Amino acid sequence: MARKIALTLIAVLLMSAALALPHTSPSVKANPGSQTWYMTDYLSGISGANYRVIRASGNGSSDSLSITAGSSRVWAAASSSSADEASNIVCRMSGTWSVRLRAVAGSTGNRRLTVNIGVLSGGTFTSRGTSSTITVTTSFANYNINVTTSGHTVNPGQYLALRVNASGTSTIYLDVHDVTLSPCWVTSPSTADDYPGTVNINFTVTDYGSAGINFGSLNPGAVDQQEAAQGPSQGAVALVIGADTNVNINIQIKGTDFTSGGNTITISNVKYNNTNSTSGASTLTTSYVTWYSVSAYTANTRQCYHWISIPAGKAAGSYTSTFSYQAVQQ
């Protein structure tokens, strides 16, 4: 009577959170309190922007920056007089902003300034709130303006921006120069995110059952044998994204070929799915592939089920592999 040959196949689980930027959990300050940007006459290097509005400290060189009636000027966020500053994360900036403009104009004539706050992306300014307008009547006077934004997010690579439009009968001039700080500035809501933000990816892998991915002892020719720990509602592992993850991320997966001495079973014999069914399951590869994506600030848990098939004629042995899971910034 022929004796059955048993194979023991064990996939060593590697838990990994590979990040495009340094992992900083849990040090991210979601709401650091109000931040202030100072309007200057330093030219911006960003398409669609005229000048820089500098975070924390800034002072221009002109007390008569002109805005011709019927035209606008756009200020893009910057970290210094020479460095524009794109968002690193999905910054949530909605709320009521405080704007202070110091205008240079006579008390006669019809002069108005309209302020919008929004996003600069691809050379286009998009307002994220209602416009606020003031009438300029007095020379070298300070005008305080509140602008409320909603649905105001600045995505990675985009710029926080301020637009000022002049209307009326003549040119209006802004004073962006003082002894230390520009007298024109904009302050974010206290509930807004830290801009430009620090990337935080909170990614964990929960391993069920014995350590690693374990398929047990199988015979050559076995088809779609499930991992030992998984059941109807529990996968081999669970991939968990925390709600404090502040960037859009891709969840990626890969594996190495199973080996036992000089014998190999290719990783393409392994399937994975987020339900306990091989229907619609994907095939594991030796290179990372994106399985699914999760939006910033979204808690997400996905069960990961695995199955393996054993080609006929494979020699008995203890076969091992490495399964890898990672979360990477989009």
Domain map of the chain by residue range?
A: 7-25+199-329, 36-187
CATH architecture of 7-25+199-329: Sandwich (2.60)
For the segment 123-145, the average pLDDT, to the nearest whole number, is 91
Please, which pLDDT band fits residue 31 given cuts at 50, 70 and 90? low
Q: Across the chain, what does the average pLDDT equal?
A: 88
Q: Which CATH superfamily is domain 36-187 in?
A: Galactose-binding domain-like (2.60.120.260)
Please determine, for residue 9, whether its predicted confidence score (pLDDT) is greater than 60: no
Exposed / middle / buried, residue 101 (Cβ in 10 Å: 0-12, 13-18, 19+): buried
C-alpha span between 233 and 268 (Å, rounded): 24
Side chain identity at residue 228, one-letter code? A
Taking 3-state DSSP, the helix, strand and coil percentages for the chain, each rounded to the nearest 5, stand at 0, 50, 50
Minimum mean pLDDT among 141-150, 195-204, 290-299: which range?
Answer: 195-204
Bigger pLDDT: 220 vs 235: 235
Q: What tens digit of pLDDT does each residue of 52-91 get?
A: 999 999 999 999 999 999 999 999 999 999 999 999 999 9
- Rounded CA-CA distance 183/176 in Å is 6
Q: What are the contacts of 312-316 at 24+ separation with CB within 8 A? A: 312/220, 312/221, 313/220, 314/7, 314/220, 314/263, 314/265, 315/5, 315/260, 315/263, 316/5, 316/6, 316/7
